[in-house]
Structure 1
Amino acid sequence: MKKDLDRRRFLKIAGTSMGVGALYTVWPSLGRSAEAAELARRLGAKTGEKPTPFTFAQLSDAHVGFDGPIGTRALERAVATINGLPRRPDLVLFTGDLTHDTEKPGEHAARMSLFREISGRLQVAKVYHVPGEHDAGLDGGELFRSVFGPTSYSFDHRGVHFIALDNVSRAKPEVGAEQRAWLAKDLSRFHATTPIVVFTHRPLFDLRPDWEWFTSDGDEVMNLLAPYENVTVLYGHIHREDHHTIGHAQHFAARSLCFAFPDPDKFEDKKAIPFDKDQPFKNLGLRVIDRTAGSAAETVRVQDVELAMSELSGTEGFDQLLKPATF
């Protein structure tokens, strides 16, 4: 039993919720067994880096250009909140719908430019993006690629392999055969215990198909990821927090920076939660890490990238504690 526990004391990705989006911390666990050391060595050989502590943030669904009462205020507040953190994230991942689509000539490009201006205030080393359907649905992602670069790609950071997947640029909501072939080749380079973070826009499982909360070939994508024991999928699109465990994969959705949708288990119709002028940022959130020394060694397993979250929201500054919640 002790040997198995030591093997699992390897890596943790943890996050807490506070405001608009999500912030995660990744760190090696406290296990010092020979087997844990060998896992670290193998991972470093594959990625070229040892797994060392770092923090990254997820923001989603800013919908710059959407005709609503929030405008860009939530995005601007999220940027300021991240910049004010005592421990600055290494990375920020935007999981789609950076902008709201429009057919007015030149207007969509202007909205992307405004998004870049605001997000450019982030004081972090790297910012990565994937498109949402409102970024890429009208032109198959052509404008998005001209502004932000490829819609699917991968990179390594401090011993974790990150994969950006595009499930919105095609005629139907799918990753598609070509991208799946690329994903299979990309994954083939890594050992089964490699920590993998996938970030995309739509959920890669059937969360609520009648609300368009699905990816048509999500099962095929997850089959490619199934051999890997340490997978986290981060997505947006649903404008609310959500957590599902499917096989070895943990799936997490972030709140939006624009408006929120209700719990799909409690409502038949997909309608945004009404805006409350007295609580303008209600249901918009940002996750902030609360790392507790010593706890990681007892709770983390290599095969599950566990994210322990505490939900916070706010009426003025995204900083009013409502209730703790641990998954």
Structure 2
Amino acid sequence: MDRRDFLSLAAVGGGAVFVASLPGCGSLAGTDKSAGTDFYFVQLSDIHWGYKGPANPEAMVTLGKAVATVNALDIQPDFIVFTGDLTHTTDDPGERRRRMNEFKSIVADLKVSNIRFMPGEHDASLDRGMAFKEIFGATHYRFDHKGVHFLALDNVSDPGTKLGDEQLAWMGEELDKLDKAAPLVVLAHRPLFDLVPKWDWATRDGARALALLQPFQKVTVFYGHIHQEHHHMTGHIAHHSAKSLIFPLPAPGSQDKPTPVLWDPAMPYRGLGFREVDANPAAASYVINEFPVLRT
């Protein structure tokens, strides 16, 4: 563990899981994160702002605590990405927009100004992303950062849990512009592979997206939706899911339906958290550090 990792851990007072030994990841010990092309970003997912229920009786304060925890990191990330389900679903279009604006107001307190937003099905499936686009912008896009290409996909606005022909065509066009040896990070809400299709933990045309990614030598996918840490390989492509900031869900396929794990008053934020991703573009390697949200 280098000095930056140690100080980050001390800042939040919690533990981290280093997954550098996983396929698709590598160690960055001893590198200077503030210089050169190395960098790190923070992923937060599945906030469900507006949720009220027994799975998290403190739902109104969890997001604020997460913002404060990220702001307390010793070295601030280059950017922050929210990988979907920013808000909890509602049939009322006015309430949907109110929740999105409240969410946006709270995360405006983050010290980092470079924030990327992506929709989840709770944000976008009922209106095909209309409200999300009004408040946050595009639902899928590409950007580059210090030698790494990022592709943010939308597999939630289509209520059929698909990317769709139009987006897949756009994805192919964007990928055609890139060097197949360059590091590529894909961001999505749902998993692109079939994790548990009966739970909606899949993308119906995800295999087509993975086929487009297959020629690239260094691909890593970060996603949300399943409210827990999970790691998977499809060929040489590594997939890493993020924890939720509202409630955990059961292990994949472990029961009939993915109902929230019961709230434990003795361990109120168990299973909730966010992650840092340290990137070394020269080696196309990543170290993933998992952080808890603490009750203070």
- TM-score band w.r.t. shorter chain: 0.7 to 0.9
The superposition leaves residues 125-161 of structure 1 with CA deviations (integer Å, 9 ceiling, x where unpaired) of 3111111110001111000000001101101111111
Query: Does 1:58 pair with 2:43?
Result: yes
Structure 1, residues 210-229: CA drift from partner, whole Å, max 9, x if none?
Answer: 11100000000010010111
Output the CA distance in 1 between the equivalents of 2:232 and 2:41. Answer: 20
- C-alpha distance in structure 1 between counterparts of 2:121 and 2:65, whole Å: 24
- 1:310–1:59 CA distance, 2 compared to 1 (3 A): closer
Question: Per-residue deviation at 1:72?
Answer: 3.3
Structure 1 unmatched runs, 5+: 1-15, 31-49, 318-327
For 1:1-327, list aligned pairs within 5 A: 52-68=37-53, 69-288=57-276, 306-309=285-288, 311=290, 313=292, 316=295
Alignment correspondent of 2:3:
none
- 1:51 deviates by 7.3
CA distance in 1, matches of 2:19, 2:41: 5
* TM-score using structure 2 length: 0.83
Distance 1:27 1:114, change over 3 A: farther
Identity %, equivalent residues: 43
Partner SS state of residue 85, structure 2: coil
- Is the CA contact 1:232–1:251 (under 8 Å) kept in the aligned structure 2? yes
Per the TM alignment, residue 306 of structure 1 is displaced from its structure 2 partner at its CA by 4.6
Output the CA distance in 1 between the equivalents of 2:183 and 2:42. 17
Contact 1:205-1:219 within 8 A present in 2 as well: yes
How many Å apart are 1:307 and its aligned residue? 4.0
CA–CA distance in 1 between the matches of 2:236 and 2:64?
Answer: 35
CA contact (8 A) 1:23 1:288 kept: no
Distance 1:286 1:258 in 2: 11
Note the C-alpha offset of 1:287: 2.5
* Paired residue secondary structure (1:228): coil
CA distance in 1, matches of 2:202, 2:62: 26
Q: Distance in 2 between matches of 1:110 and 1:22?
A: 36
> Given the superposition, is the C-alpha separation of residues 301 and 227 from structure 1 closer, same or farther in structure 2, using an over 3 Å criterion?
farther
Taking only aligned residues, the RMSD between alpha carbons, in angstroms, comes to 3.2
Say if 1:127 and 1:290 are closer, same or farther in 2 by CA, change over 3 A.
Answer: closer
Q: 1:51 to 1:251 in 2, by over 3 A?
A: farther
Per-residue CA deviations over 1:252-281 (Å, capped at 9, x if unaligned) read 110001111011253343221100122111
In structure 2, how many angstroms separate the alpha carbons of the residues matched to 1:122 and 1:202?
Answer: 25
C-alpha displacement of 1:188: 0.8
| Alignment CA distance shift 1:22-1:228 (3 Å) | farther
Q: State whether residues 22 and 57 of structure 1, in contact with CA within 8 Å, keep that contact through their aligned partners in structure 2.
A: no
Deviations 1:154-204 (A, max 9, x none): 011111111110011113001111111111110111111111111111000
- Kindly tell me: are residues 311 and 165 of structure 1, through their superposed partners in 2, closer, same or farther at Cα, counting changes over 3 Å? closer
- Size of the aligned set, in residue pairs, is 274
Q: 1:289 to 1:97 in 2, by over 3 A?
A: closer
Whether the aligned pair in 1 keeps the contact of 2:142 and 2:152 (CA below 8 Å) is yes
